[in-house]
Amino acid sequence: MAQAAWADTVVWECHIHRWQFGIHLNLSPLTRLEGSRRIGWEIGDSESSLEEEGFVDPLIIHTQPSLRQPVLILSFAGWNDAGEAATSAAQFLCSRLNAEKFASLEPEEFYNFSELRPRVRLVKGQREVTWPANEFFYVQDPSLVQDLVIGVGIEPHLQWKTYVKAILDLARQCQVSMVLTLGALLAEVVYSRPVRISGSTTDPELAARLHLNVRTSRYEGPTGIVGILNDTCRREGVPAVSLWANVPHYLSNTPNPKAMYALVRRVLGVLDHPLDLQDVETAVSDFETKVAEVIANNPAVASYVRQLEEREADEGEEAPPRRESELPNSDQLVQELEQFLRQQRRDRPSE
């Protein structure tokens, strides 16, 4: 049932839009997470506590599960979630591992509701308002080396420091041993090649234990809530790893099951926990077939993809950034592919 339900949510029609993205570092294959260092959390730490006079704590804990040094897996919709790969990966893990909701964040402090509006739906004939959600789920499974806490949220508009403090307050109360953030960025990559997973950690012990081939990032520029959260973890001594999927920038405004699948596999590698992913592999194959059909019928995009293939063959995965003049204009490709997709919809016979 869970497998069929997940497959039904995949959207096949490919759209595109423009997205800013950062540069992250390549990772070697990950191995089992063992002997995790236990953090000396101080629940009453006055420096990080949200219990300040006159302050309403946005963290709502419905029940307090007893967990075994859990790993906190986090994903956020928005700037850090190209192709919805990160949030889809976290939601998939929640579904497949039978996670149970136990906490959430009150959205009032964090969002401009004129930009991210609440939604109304009909439930048994009655109107029900759904607010932007940041929800946390726990997984207790004897086959896991450690229990899990999985958070699926939305990058906030306001009060980022308060938002991050609330998440780390939850981590303290759950005695989290490691934070694992998921993200997805748009990049000049070939859709048919294996998804490149990049990432970073500022914890040398964690890098050694997981055999991460991590170097200091040279990226400078805008960052998202994932970057702020990882920086806060570093300053507070919380072990943290960030994993990112590279999503083709010319195929971005649709759920990308291939990028989601790559993130799920890498997370399962960290956890040393095998899962049957045959249904996802089938979805990935169908997705690639439909993308190939779209690109084959658009000469400009097909030519651009061939140039990317040649560039990767010449330079490998460590290719330096290209000057804009060396490749076709991305905005022009976006417009041409959007026009092609609109024409395909108009030409499609009605059923």
For the stretch 292-317, pLDDT in tens is 888 888 888 888 888 888 887 665 55
Q: Give domain status of residue 262, yes or no.
A: yes
Q: How confident is the model at residue 323 (pLDDT cuts 50, 70, 90)?
A: very low
Q: Which residue has the tokens 């592999």?
A: 281
Report how far residue 247's alpha carbon sits from residue 78's, in angstroms, rounded to the nearest whole number.
14
Structural domain boundaries, residue 241: 2-277
Q: What is the CATH number of the domain that holds 170?
A: 3.40.50.10900
Instruction: Answer yes or no: are the C-beta atoms of 138 and 89 closer than 8 Å.
Output: no
Q: How confident is the model at residue 52 (pLDDT cuts 50, 70, 90)?
A: low
304 or 206, which is more confident:
304
Across 120-124, 154-158, 250-254, least confident range: 250-254
Instruction: Answer yes or no: are the C-beta atoms of 152 and 87 closer than 8 Å.
Output: yes
pLDDT at 26 (0 to 100): 35
pLDDT at 299 (0 to 100): 85
Tokens of 281: 């592999």
Report how far residue 111's alpha carbon sits from residue 1's, in angstroms, rounded to the nearest whole number.
35
Mean of per-residue pLDDT scores for the chain: 79
Report how far residue 133's alpha carbon sits from residue 131's, in angstroms, rounded to the nearest whole number.
6
Q: Give domain status of residue 202, yes or no.
A: yes
Percentage of the chain beyond pLDDT 70 is 71
**Number of independent structural domains in the chain:** 1
Q: Give domain status of residue 311, yes or no.
A: no
Q: Which residues of 86-109 are buried (b: 16+ CB within 10 A; e: fewer)?
A: bbbbbbbbbebbebeebbbbebee
Q: How confident is the model at residue 290 (pLDDT cuts 50, 70, 90)?
A: confident
Percentage of the chain beyond pLDDT 90 is 54
Question: Cβ of 13: how many Cβ atoms within 10 Å?
Answer: 11
Distances (CA, A) of 318 to 97, 313, 325: 35, 11, 20
Q: Give domain status of residue 343, yes or no.
A: no
Q: Give domain status of residue 214, yes or no.
A: yes
Q: Give domain status of residue 218, yes or no.
A: yes
Q: Give domain status of residue 300, yes or no.
A: no
Q: Give domain status of residue 24, yes or no.
A: yes
87 or 208, which is more confident:
87
142 or 2, which is more confident:
142
